[in-house]
Structure 1
Amino acid sequence: MAGEFGTRFMDQMAVSHFSDGWSQEEMVPGDSITLHPGAHVLHYASTCFEGLKAFRQADGGVAIFRMDKNVARFAQSSSLLYLPEIDTEQTSRMISDIVAHYRDAIPAPPASMYIRPTHIGTEAAIGKAAAPSATSTQMILLSPVGDYFAGGEACLRLLLDDKGVRCGPDHGMVKGGGNYASALKHIMRARASVKADQVLFCPGGDVQETGAANFILVDGDRIITKSLDESFLHGVTRDSLLTLARDKGLDVQERELTIEELIECAAHPECEAGLTGTAAVVAAVGTLIHDGQEYKVGSGTPGPRIRAMRDELNAIQWGQSEDRHNWLTRV
């Protein structure tokens, strides 16, 4: 898996176009699309996407992890951007069919096949800044990816930002390009100023999420994370990890978490924190930075609880342990 994450693609992709209705899906070359320069997406950010993975199973088969949940979120993002309503059955079929087409190219764990459904507004209409695109295209890209931790286990530095916001507070549920673009300036400034890996957005002191991942705090048998609302992305990996934690009887608390409580908990020797997402499952956080001060999270190194959470979910994804919640779709 040479190259950076997500920079290698399969030579074909699945596409479907919306005009008066959705066209029959087809396989086309995966290295280009044709758009009018006035396409709505290029001017008004009418774009959303998903990120999920297909895994080689212990028995040699192939399975997609939580496709139904990702497709439902894809439909939700499309709706919140007022893009044409996707046909979830068609989208699921497109994902399954292209994964099946490339099943022999899906690498063995810990590598996987990353799946990127994308929906863009295509209407040539630069006068529609305050109106949605009437036409659109959805496409399914595949990218074989290696082990996220091949270069060594992550131990991230987070800048706690209580002034900036990742996106509009009523727009965080959208997995759209505009939300990532608006977070980028904060991330770049944090890297330049304090060598942070990511920014943990905490508007008004309320701990939310980073520019690309949900945040969890693990303090003994407690797992604390922000309760779901419109302000941040409802992560599929987050949901999966919390479900497994509840299965084990852990104290999962979805509630408000302030910067003050976070820093206080971080001082506990056994405290751990992590960022959850499709790429890494959960990556450890070792340092918090706030108001010019640095605070270690627990020992400041990756801890056993975060590692165990990642291992447990990986085992399900790789077909090495029981899929009790029917999260895997075999193809």
Structure 2
Amino acid sequence: MEEIKVTLTETPKQKPAEDALGFGKYFTDHMFMMDYNEEKGWHDPRIIPYGPIALDPSASVFHYAQEVFEGLKAYRTADGTIQLFRPEENFKRLNSSNDRLCIPQVDVDFCIKALSKLIEVEKDWVPHAEGTSLYIRPFIFACEPVLGVHPSKEYKFIIILSPSGSYYASGLAPVKIYVEPEYVRAVRGGTGFTKTGGNYACSLKAQQEAKGYSQVLWLDGVERKYIEEVGAMNVFFVIGDEVVTPALLGSVLPGITRKSCIEILRSWGYTVNERRLSIDEVEEAAKNGQLKEMFGTGTAAVVSPVGELKYKDDVIEISGGEIGELTKRLYDELTGIQLSKREDRFGWITKVC
């Protein structure tokens, strides 16, 4: 791969106040971009000023939604070091999404190199305040200017950066989740295991109707009884002495935070089972006092406690509406590793600068 060319902006932006970042609202001065065509493969890697992208109105992405993306974060530690959490897993998953959407594979090591260089250029944008981070959005889309239902012959790969606060305005306070009884997000054999925009577009209707609830919990698309995932998170339940999370059967995103939580929990000696879990089993566990905790996991929210679950006419209060003991322990461990406040026992941290 060619060397990464760097063109710096002549009009740097004013950085937002760190106590009012929100999530995904502000963007840094620069972005990474490279192109693909059949003759050259991936080529012309460059860091350029952040700005609009010119596309032909017939670009494939507009008409056939051939697009994938990822989400990860850069963290600033107490000593000022900037580091990433398991970035290789994100780019491996990007390639899994690429494969399903017929998009050319990217080189994982080169992607980490390109991302690290972009962060070095934008290091002053990595916030310092507690609970903040630099959110990273790599994405690839088809841009061949032709109308025809077939894989594009041209693509763009871009990485943009966004200094962000907590994903939920309430921080670590337990969220309320609405179980969707009618609409479905994905089915086996589809694209549910990928990060592609269509999965999220089809979730908007249910989220719109779930008034008063932070997220929608999806059930399987065939029997509509087995729990899958929340819109932005994988989910875990503590039932008795067992920690349960839905199995990866092709319609659930293989979350990297999910994977990390499973590895941490098992290292602590917990029984973690990846299996099919019905909403009926959850309701029954709540009734007999066996449902102790529920939490979501994801890059944006890290670990998010769930205090209430609504399914049809049934409202389930979990952990007395408070954060559960295991949920808090996991959150502290994960964020501790990400910020180098705790030992990186698994070798998950990549230092950037």
Is 2:161 the counterpart of 1:142?
Answer: yes
Match of 1:159 in 2: 178
1:282 corresponds to which letter in structure 2? V
Is 2:143 the counterpart of 1:122?
Answer: yes
TM-score (ref. length: structure 1):
0.93
Structure 1 position 83, deviation (Å)? 1.3
1:192-211 Cα distance to aligned partner (Å, 9 max, x none): xxx22221111321010012
Structure 1 position 258, deviation (Å)? 0.7
1:249 & 1:153 partners in 2: Cα distance?
A: 25
Match of 1:265 in 2: 285
1:167-213 Cα distance to aligned partner (Å, 9 max, x none): 3432111100010001111111222xxx2222111132101001221
Among candidates 103, 109, 113, match of residue 123 of structure 2: 103
1:72 & 1:253 partners in 2: Cα distance?
A: 24
1:281-305 Cα distance to aligned partner (Å, 9 max, x none): 1111111111222111231222222
Contact 1:47/1:119, CA 8 A, preserved across alignment:
yes
Structure 1 position 150, deviation (Å)? 5.9
Q: 1:174 to 1:28 in 2, by over 3 A?
A: same
Match of 1:16 in 2: 34
Match of 1:201 in 2: 218
Is 2:65 the counterpart of 1:45?
Answer: yes
Q: Which structure 2 segments of 5+ residues have no match? A: 1-17
1:144 corresponds to which letter in structure 2? P
Greater shift after overlay, 203-212 or 160-169? 160-169
1:11 & 1:60 partners in 2: Cα distance?
A: 20
Q: 1:59 to 1:16 in 2, by over 3 A?
A: same
Runs of 4+ in 1 over 6 A off after TM superposition: none
Greater shift after overlay, 11-20 or 82-91? 82-91
Q: CA RMSD in A?
A: 1.7
TM-score (ref. length: structure 2):
0.88
Contact 2:257/2:298, CA 8 A, preserved across alignment:
yes
Match of 2:251 in 1: 231
Is 2:90 the counterpart of 1:70?
Answer: yes
Match of 1:308 in 2: 329
Structure 1 position 90, deviation (Å)? 2.4
Greater shift after overlay, 89-98 or 237-246? 89-98
1:160 & 1:188 partners in 2: Cα distance?
A: 13
1:307 corresponds to which letter in structure 2? K
Q: 1:77 to 1:270 in 2, by over 3 A?
A: closer
Q: 1:201 to 1:60 in 2, by over 3 A?
A: same
Contact 1:15/1:25, CA 8 A, preserved across alignment:
yes
Identity across aligned pairs (percent)? Answer: 37
Q: 1:142 to 1:124 in 2, by over 3 A?
A: same
**Aligned ranges for residues 280-295 of structure 1 at < 5 Å?**
280-295=301-316
Aligned residue for 1:319, secondary structure, equals: coil
1:150 & 1:184 partners in 2: Cα distance?
A: 20
Is 2:345 the counterpart of 1:324?
Answer: yes
Number of residue pairs aligned between Structure 1 and Structure 2: 326
1:9-31 Cα distance to aligned partner (Å, 9 max, x none): 00110000001211131011212
